């Protein structure tokens, strides 16, 4: 068994100690390291069921799409995150139509669908892990849909900028207006207008490809935090 695989399994999959020797062989044989260049369509809704991803580095964006082609980002995966909703065929009752794109050059461990399905069917610990991860992502999706349906655009932008700042550990957010709009599920023109307004109000300082939060307290108040 690859020492690299062993380390990843032990650190990220709490079902690992509950696997038999045979099950560990199935998991190892059904796993591989994959690389996705930026812009790759990793998962295309119901058209495929590639498996479970554990990100080593990079970023994947999980989104849904309306009939007229409008995208709504549901959540993003970063290093050490596990993505299971791109494998609806491995767990019963997972019927979500989601798409996954690589936002950055991404390297991940991929557990192929047949291997994870076989383990899930035969080991309750694996099955519970799968549903636990799916539930966590569903919570992210519901939070995103709540924002889209019920929050004003300025509040959504304030929430987004604060979350990005906290995630990066920096007051600076290095994203374009186009990227922010795609992540928020809105139009670039809306983001540009709000960024201009936030800048005028002294909440942020905007420069090309970068937004710096200046008044965090006022931003939190706007975000409702």
pLDDT in tens, 190-211: 999 999 999 999 999 998 889 9
Indicate the average pLDDT of the chain. Answer: 88
Does 47 share its domain with 103? Answer: yes
Q: pLDDT band at residue 66, thresholds of 50, 70 and 90?
A: confident
Same-domain status, 144 and 123:
yes
Please report the pLDDT score of residue 91 as a whole number: 63
Sheet of strand 99-102, all strands in order from the earlier edge strand to the far edge: 41-44, 99-102, 60-65, 71-77
**Same-domain pairing of 88 and 77:** yes
Q: Which of 148, 166, 195 is the last residue of a domain?
A: 148
CATH number for the domain spanning 176: value is 1.10.10.10
Task: Tell me: pLDDT of 1 over 60.
Answer: no
Residue-number span of the structural domain to which 169 is assigned: 151-223
CATH of the domain at 29: 2.60.120.10
Cβ pair 61, 40 in contact under 8 A: no
Identify whether residues 82 and 142 lie together within a single domain.
yes
Mean pLDDT, rounded, for 93-104:
80
Q: Does residue 139 share a domain with residue 29?
A: yes
Q: Looking at 93, 121, 148, which one is the last position of a domain? A: 148
Q: Is the pLDDT of residue 86 over 80?
A: no
Q: Indicate if 102 and 176 belong to the same structural domain.
A: no
pLDDT of 100-139, one tens digit each? 999 999 999 999 988 998 999 999 999 999 888 888 888 8
Kindly state whether residues 13 and 91 are assigned to the same domain.
yes
Total domain count for the chain?
A: 2
Choosing from 112, 129, 148, the residue where a domain stops is: 148
Identify whether residues 117 and 171 lie together within a single domain: no
pLDDT per residue over 7-54, tens digit each?
A: 889 999 999 999 999 999 999 999 999 999 999 999 876 656 788 999
Q: Can you tell me the mean pLDDT for 149-155?
A: 91
- For the CA atoms of 142, 144, 145, 149, the dihedral, rounded to the nearest 10 degrees, stands at 140
């Amino acid at each position: 068994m690859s020492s690299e695989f062993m380390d990843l399994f032990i650190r990220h999959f709490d079902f690992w100690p509950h696997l038999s020797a045979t099950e560990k062989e199935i998991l190892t044989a059904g796993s591989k390291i994959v690389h996705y260049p930026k812009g790759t369509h990793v998962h295309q809704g119901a058209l495929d069921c590639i498996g479970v991803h554990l990100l080593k580095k990079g970023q994947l964006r999980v989104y849904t799409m309306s009939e007229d082609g409008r995208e709504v980002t549901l959540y993003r995966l970063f290093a050490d995150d596990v993505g299971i909703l791109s494998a609806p065929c491995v767990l019963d009752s997972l019927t979500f139509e989601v798409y996954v794109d690589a936002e950055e050059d991404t390297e991940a461990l991929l557990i192929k669908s047949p291997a994870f399905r076989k383990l899930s069917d035969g080991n309750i610990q694996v099955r519970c892990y799968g549903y636990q991860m799916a539930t966590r992502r569903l919570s992210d999706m519901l939070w995103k849909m709540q924002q889209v349906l019920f929050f004003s655009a300025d509040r959504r932008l304030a929430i987004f900028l604060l979350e990005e700042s906290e995630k990066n550990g920096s007051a600076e957010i290095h994203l374009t207006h186009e990227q922010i709009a795609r992540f928020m599920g809105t139009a670039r023109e809306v983001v540009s207008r709000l960024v201009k307004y936030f800048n005028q109000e002294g909440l942020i300082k905007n420069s090309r490809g970068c937004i710096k939060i200046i008044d965090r307290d006022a931003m939190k108040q706007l975000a409702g935090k």
